[in-house]
């Protein structure tokens, strides 16, 4: 963790919040590169995963579930619809609202993205043996869960 000026002060090298943030930056770079291989972004993956797991939903509900902002949601749905990975149809209960559904092609793409992300996780966690990986995931889960997903 050297900088252009030399070694970081000890205080910075051992701050859990700084280490976690630095690890997140590295992980995000690796994930973004993996998704880019399929012409996808994190929002694409989140939206497809939510639709596959929870079923059709309105754009607003998907935004709440995934933490994707309303303006980003519209662009993401448009992009996925153009690729025929999702379908957008009027809600029969409220014609002002659209319901988004994952397509068969979207499920196929999600499976491909799952494989890319699994490889990205392996790359990120490569310095750790399997037991340490499981322990890290457990520790991070215990840190994140009490704070909820409100800090995405």
CATH number of the domain at 94, please.
1.10.10.10
> Quick check: is 64 in a domain?
yes
Render 76-100 in DSSP notation, one character per residue.
HHHHHHHTTSEEEEEETTEEEEEEE
In tens, the pLDDT along 38-66 reads 999 999 999 999 999 999 999 999 999 99
Q: 4 pLDDT exceeds 80?
A: no
132-142 pLDDT tens trace: 999 999 999 99
Decide if 135 is inside a domain: yes
Determine, yes or no, domain membership for 3: no
Let me know if residue 2 belongs to a domain: no
Provide the domain count of the chain.
Answer: 1
Structural Rg of the chain based on CA atoms = 19
- pTM, to two decimals: 0.85
Domain boundaries, position 127: 17-146
In a domain, 34, yes or no: yes
Give domain status of residue 152, yes or no: no
pLDDT of residue 151: 42
Does residue 11 sit within a domain?
A: no
User: In this prediction, what percent of the chain has a pLDDT beyond 70?
Assistant: 93
């Amino acid at each position: 963790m050297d900088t252009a000026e030399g070694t970081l002060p000890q205080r910075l090298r051992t701050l859990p919040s700084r280490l976690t943030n630095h690890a997140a930056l590295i992980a995000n770079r690796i994930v973004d590169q993996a998704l880019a291989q399929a012409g996808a972004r994190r929002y694409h993956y989140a939206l497809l995963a939510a639709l596959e797991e929870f079923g059709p939903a309105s754009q607003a509900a998907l935004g709440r579930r995934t933490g994707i902002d309303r303006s980003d949601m519209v662009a993401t749905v448009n992009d996925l619809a153009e690729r025929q990975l999702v379908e957008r149809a009027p809600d029969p209960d409220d014609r002002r609202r659209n319901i988004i559904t994952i397509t068969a092609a979207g499920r196929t793409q999600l499976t491909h993205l799952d494989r890319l992300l699994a490889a990205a996780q392996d790359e990120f966690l490569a310095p750790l043996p399997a037991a340490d990986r499981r322990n890290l995931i457990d520790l991070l889960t215990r840190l994140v869960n009490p704070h909820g997903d409100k800090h995405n």
